Amino acid sequence: MCKLKRMQTLSTYLRDHGKTQREIARAVGASPSYINELCKELKTPSLKMAFAIERATDGAVLAASWAKPMKAEAANES
């Protein structure tokens, strides 16, 4: 049986693990204000930053969790 990890948001991870935005910012080399914008979903991280967050959270917040689903029209144009 294949067990898939449930994707967790960054804000949920921070809350559940008792970590602060400042701690994760330091771990990934970003500003606390940028991490705040990610938590509020005002910004989407670069691929490099998404993987840095995945590493800093020991895989709890997957880089893939930041990907947005494609709209049907865009998918059909490919």
- Proportion of the chain above pLDDT 90, given as a percent: 74
Does residue 2 belong to any structural domain of this protein? no
Does residue 51 belong to any structural domain of this protein? yes
Does residue 33 belong to any structural domain of this protein? yes
Q: Are the CB atoms for 39 and 10 separated by under 8 Å?
A: yes
pLDDT tens-place string over residues 10-29: 999 999 999 999 999 999 99
**pTM for this prediction:** 0.80
pLDDT tens digits for the chain (78 residues)?
455 556 789 999 999 999 999 999 999 999 999 999 999 999 999 999 999 999 999 999 999 999 877 776 655 665
CATH of the domain at 32: 1.10.260.40
Q: Burial code of 9-47, b = ≥16 C-beta within 10 A, e = fewer?
A: ebbebbeeeeeebeebbeebebeeebbebbbeeeeebee
What domain range is 40 assigned to? Answer: 10-63
Does residue 59 belong to any structural domain of this protein? yes
